[in-house]
Structure 1
């Protein structure tokens, strides 16, 4: 067994995680569906890597994510912190306080009402009809489609929590809410606030105990997949968590995605807000990078304008943008679950399995020792055709990492590319050999060669579950193939019209990440270290002394030097 524990810290991280686990749930369902495409039944994707098996007190078998979710109080919507496996377990704050004998007034908020999608899930769980879908009459099929349209419409028009579209069962140790003196999540917007909250009570102890529960039941953990919303106070919560992991599980590699939604990229309206945001970004980046083996910054200011023309993404809706990032993280995780091929195994369906530790060594353990990596995505990936089988995939890859430059002239670049569900000539599945030959041919045609390339391929595409936003243009077909013509004025397509899509994702270690690091390095010097800097008092309020801030600057300086030894900014010492 090569288990992975997933940790999601922050509201937007949980939005992404909700889509991620919906993809896994859909794969599990399709593998057992006799009417599903056989490509989902090849058995080479080991779901036990992300899931744990268990049993209720009634002897009912359970299968749920090996995951810890940390969010703000009230962020779970209609879901209880005890999860859904063993009923509603009362939380500590809902019980009477035995030490208080005086009068007490109790204020109870209105319960969060389930939307139509969640209501329909509950009805399906209690449906004992046992009638297979294949035996349904045509009228029933039409009725089901209308019902599904209503379910999708309710999500398109009103998702207020990541649990509103989650169809996965969670273990009682999975869901954890931060409780503190702050009440409005919109004010939980800088590094210092999260540091104050985590210092209150027993948050760190409780979070560590949950991690210990999941890790100790693993046979051979290969690593931790960590997703953190770094746009506000949750980044310091994550740093506290990562520091504990480094102390207790030093040999367990961490693959860290620090994510940010398009809405949080909006610039503050005053000078103080600009300084606070600049210092938050610098401090968050430096501290997170120091406790992770491999960091992947994710989050464009706009997906509407910076992504594929085949997608229609509404930046203002977290439900939309988080689906894109979840698809990319799912694709990157495919090699971690592929069964390693033995010499006698047929490689028709998959190739290129590797573990988290191997990809960390590949991308961050080469000559540069650079822990910060760029994430690219092609969704849907184009078909391999005889006329356009050179450069089709790589040409369509778009960066999901912000503030990056070009790396065409980087001879030290290292890349890991994952392609799954690739098509050839319409809706036909491309062979593993076709994908490999095409991509290798393009890399060989470059004037500047990579230092190293790892290629993972899998025949199974990304399934599109029902609670998925309508983001595909009318040119995308049912299986993700590109149609010849786009219908003018056509409505965006969702899960009712698109069943699956081919995906290509890439992690690359290159000097293209320089602008991202340089911006944070220069802001730390400008607002935190320069003589008379206006952010000095703010950093002290966050609990940082001069020496610790200088250490952060030196940490980023070393990153810059590793990427570009000739960089003037990196070569200058901190004053």
Structure 2
């Protein structure tokens, strides 16, 4: 077995992670359900790659994500840091100030109650199911509708819609950052937090717990909300990981809520954001093997809008799309089949994190940054000659070029659960032949492409937002005869599963993303006498470190202009 350890750091990252683990939990349930689609029951996915089996002190068997989640104090809602429902440690822990002998005033916030969905989970664990008649089915349908409505209108924490059991070592609330503290918004605000040795050591110990019990760890997947101070926390965490687990590849997803892309209120705020993006990118890319930026300024006005009805102001909505994309690109890490994946890639459909890193960085580059393209839902094989529509893939990575004709690009494509025009599930061979033919028909082909295929679609769990438009069918098919005028967006009660495709692409399309950060650091941070250079000093950076960060970004830009590097070397 090749295990994966997952790390989630920051508010939006945990929103994404909550959906991601709900997908996995749904797959686990469907695999054991005799009434479920055969694609789920026969799906060759090894869930042990992500989960660990164990038991409680009382001898009760458990199956929990191999996960370390780091968030703000008070971000767990009604969930305790031990992974059970109850007071979070932020509210329950006594205030102790050993260096203060005077009077202490203690203010404790009212604990957050469980919403209707969490209450239903607790009741379901206590009562056996008795649904064996039409009356019970009808009642359950009404109850499920109420649960969906309660989530659609009342999600405040990522724990409000999680249906997964977490290990006591998984959930960690970071001292010095609070859910209602809006100043933890750039790289420099976390200096005091990351300088507290005991906190970073606690985070390291929790990760070590999961890593050391692995037999053959394939890598660490790290989901980070890099829009604010948690970026600095993650950079220190990743640096420790790089030191402690030298040969363990790290795949980093930097996720952002569309709300964080709002226009700056002042010129100084604009400068601070630009510096944060540059510093964060430079530091984070230095301590991972592969970095995937995720998060468009608006999903509601993106290419996804013909099929998805997303409210950008709701993290519950936008995080679901990011989680679906991450689920799809991680499918190859769990595939059990070992047949050839394509006629144009000399590797199998199931790959691990290290192999993915090797594929994407095949040109010898390190600290690679890739674009993530997604089709949600993926189209059916409906063209006259059965070609799969590559143009259905649209980027979730911001600030990239629309150019898709890079002959030096390297990519990894995952297609799972795709349908035929008649509504049947396409076979693996049909998908492979269709995708390969589509690539052969392109005027400019990628330098190297790896294809992974699975018959298992994205399973839609009950606590999934109502973001599908009326032209999406029960199995994620795109309907041609529908009326958009009067129908409300569909959710988990109307859409059971969705075919998906996701592609990690290393090409010059990512160059604008890198160039913007490199130019920002040079202009605002390196140039003498700028307000930015003073801000960086306030964040704790000296002149040499700033110049090192700038050179690191310049080097990443030069990767996409190898002819310039050869010229300078010859001089």
TM over 0.5: yes
Q: TM-score, normalised by structure 2?
A: 0.94
**Residues 510-559 of structure 1 deviation map (CA, whole Å, 9 limit, x = unaligned):** 00000000000111011101132220110001111111111111111111
Secondary structure of the 1:453 match is strand
Partner residue of 1:476?
A: 472
For 1:153-172, list aligned pairs within 5 A.
Answer: 153-172=149-168
Query: Within 2, Cα distance between the matches of 1:549 and 1:181?
Result: 26
Partner residue of 1:551?
A: 548
Query: Within 2, Cα distance between the matches of 1:401 and 1:473?
Result: 23
The Cα shift of 1:367 comes to 4.4
For 1:166-245, list aligned pairs within 5 A.
Answer: 166-180=162-176, 184-200=180-196, 202-245=198-241
Which segments of 5 or more consecutive residues in structure 1 lack a partner in the other structure? Answer: 344-349
Query: Within 2, Cα distance between the matches of 1:74 and 1:183?
Result: 6
Partner residue of 2:418?
A: 422
Q: From the superposition, tell whether residues 376 and 342 of structure 1 become closer, same or farther in structure 2 (CA, over 3 Å).
A: closer
Among 302, 308, 313, the alignment partner of 2:310 is 313
Partner residue of 2:56?
A: 56
Partner residue of 1:564?
A: 561
Conservation of the 8 A alpha-carbon contact between 2:286 and 2:367: no
Q: 1:387 aligned to 2:401?
A: no
Q: From the superposition, tell whether residues 388 and 141 of structure 1 become closer, same or farther in structure 2 (CA, over 3 Å).
A: farther
Query: Within 1, Cα distance between the matches of 2:53 and 2:89?
Result: 24
Among 246, 251, 269, the alignment partner of 2:247 is 251
Q: 1:76 aligned to 2:76?
A: yes
Q: 1:373 aligned to 2:334?
A: no
**Residues 403-439 of structure 1 deviation map (CA, whole Å, 9 limit, x = unaligned):** 0013433221001000000000232000111111111
Secondary structure of the 1:479 match is coil
For 1:335-484, list aligned pairs within 5 A.
Answer: 335-341=332-338, 352-369=349-366, 371-385=368-382, 387=384, 389-392=386-389, 394-484=390-480
For 1:103-118, list aligned pairs within 5 A.
Answer: 104-118=104-118
Secondary structure of the 1:477 match is coil
Conservation of the 8 A alpha-carbon contact between 2:417 and 2:454: yes
**Residues 265-300 of structure 1 deviation map (CA, whole Å, 9 limit, x = unaligned):** 012111110110000000000000000000000000
Structure 1 consecutive aligned stretches of length 4 or more whose deviation exceeds 6 Å: 87-93, 98-102, 570-573
Conservation of the 8 A alpha-carbon contact between 1:471 and 1:493: yes
Partner residue of 1:347?
A: none
The Cα shift of 1:200 comes to 2.8
The Cα shift of 1:572 comes to 9.8
Q: 1:330 aligned to 2:330?
A: no
Which segments of 5 or more consecutive residues in structure 2 lack a partner in the other structure? Answer: 341-346
Query: Within 1, Cα distance between the matches of 2:181 and 2:135?
Result: 46
How many residue pairs match? The answer is 560
**Residues 26-70 of structure 1 deviation map (CA, whole Å, 9 limit, x = unaligned):** 000111112111211115100000000001122111000000100
Q: From the superposition, tell whether residues 462 and 342 of structure 1 become closer, same or farther in structure 2 (CA, over 3 Å).
A: closer
Q: From the superposition, tell whether residues 222 and 183 of structure 1 become closer, same or farther in structure 2 (CA, over 3 Å).
A: closer
CA RMSD of aligned residues (A): 2.3
